[in-house]
Structure 1
Amino acid sequence: MAKESWASSAGVRASMRSNRSRDTKPELALRSAVHALGLRYRVAARPLPEIRRTADLVFTRAKVAVFLDGCFWHGCPEHHTKAATNAGFWADKVNTNRDRDRNTDKRLSEAGWQSIRIWEHQDPKQAALEIAAAVRVRRPASGS
């Protein structure tokens, strides 16, 4: 017997399945702004290979992991909207995502990494400046 879908309708299921996990417009804008500042990074990489958590931008030498969080999926205090249909499911999903985000930040910190969380609505140029400052402070001095 097939498991019942979490989606309230076939249309909702198709829409949710088509959501991209990477290369979204906000992510591309952020990557472009960071790149314009002369920084290079890995895209959609696991900072800690032993845990299944993927950061949007990873600066391996500086040990900085950047997560671009969607307002709906991660419960942005300014822009999160409650789902009209299947509200309980989506509230649980967002709470689970928030718990996982906190756990990820904690585990990265314990391993000597800095997590930076950027909301999708934030200005990419301002966010890039924040990221650049963190990377430059943490980047190891190159031997000359």
Structure 2
Amino acid sequence: MGWRDKPPPERAWRGRQGRTRKAIVAEQDRAAGGREGRYVKRKDGDYALASITLKLLPRTRRIRAYLRWSEDGRSPALYVGEVEHLTRAANLEQAWRIAKDRGLVGERPLPEGSWASSPATRSTMRGNRGRDTAPELRIRSLLHREGLRYRVSARPLPGVRRTADLVFTRARVAVFVDGCFWHGCPDHCRPARTNSDFWRAKIDANRARDAQTDQFLAEAGWRAIRIWEHEDPVQAAGRVAAAVRDFAARSDHNVP
């Protein structure tokens, strides 16, 4: 391990200058194989998210890896081991493997009463966004190009606690971009292998709520358009645009 004749290249240990915090976090997540495996147990029994830092020892031409985390206003450093690859990415991956093999890091235990089957599942579900998902943004962009304007993440009906992803108030059109898992897509929703009863009941409840929302809107003279996240965004945006313009055409026709 180490370089005999000359120091290792800077790309083996030094991070690129000017990186954003988001890029630094993503680098650590990739090297560790996911954020859920990056936790260390603190002295108070709680868990803290750790990172790997690489340090070059010029005299020995060796690269050492250390775990760092935040605890009581300090940033402790725990020696992990030496790494020997030619790139920083490979050395970070090696350091995380060593840390896991030594039992220095791992997953946080699930909170008492959690419905998730594992810390990884809980992390994934907590990361699901309620708005501004990729399908929503694409459809919004296409509609905006068509000259259509709308409200985002708004309640179509006053006094009714139901939020649509896009609301065309004048045309009385409410658009919902539904996730395949959460709303029970017949093509892509697959039964969960763990906590199956819980998830089946939750998805059934979501579908019942969706149907009730559509009924509320219909009774108030609104049109609900539901789009699955897997649908082609161009075709989906076309359906929405047609519904909005159909209202405009009917309004013009009724003008004396």
- Give the structure-2-normalised TM-score: 0.53
Q: Which among 118, 124, 140 is matched to residue 9 of structure 1?
A: 118
Q: Give 1:3 shift.
A: 6.6
Asked if 1:48 is matched to 2:153, the reply is no
- Distance in 2, matches of 1:33 and 1:84, equals 37
**Relative CO higher for 1 or 2, CA cutoff 8 Å, sep ≥ 6?**
1
SS in 2 for 1:71: coil
Kindly provide the amino acid, as one letter, of the partner of residue 232 in structure 2: D
Kindly provide the amino acid, as one letter, of the partner of residue 30 in structure 1: I
May I ask how many residue pairs the two structures share in their alignment? 141
RMSD: 1.6
Output one character per residue of 1:73-110: Cα deviation in whole Å (capped at 9) or x when no partner.
Answer: 11111111111211111111110010000000000000
- Distance in 2, matches of 1:56 and 1:134, equals 16
Which of the two has greater helix per residue? 1
In the alignment, which residue of structure 1 is the partner of 2:211? Answer: 102
Q: Provide structure 1 residue ranges, at least 5 long, that are not aligned to the other structure.
A: none
Instruction: Show structure 1 runs of 4+ deviating over 6 A.
Output: none
Percent identity over the alignment is: 62
1:128-143 aligned within 5 A: 128-139=237-248, 140-141=251-252
Which of the two has greater strand per residue? 2
- Distance in 1, matches of 2:115 and 2:161, equals 23
- Distance in 1, matches of 2:118 and 2:247, equals 47
Which structure: larger Rg?
2
Q: Which among 142, 145, 151 is matched to residue 33 of structure 1?
A: 142
The verdict on how the C-alpha distance between 1:25 and 1:5 changes in structure 2, with shifts beyond 3 A counting, is same
Q: Which among 64, 73, 83 is matched to residue 173 of structure 2?
A: 64
In the alignment, which residue of structure 1 is the partner of 2:64? Answer: none
- Give the structure-1-normalised TM-score: 0.92
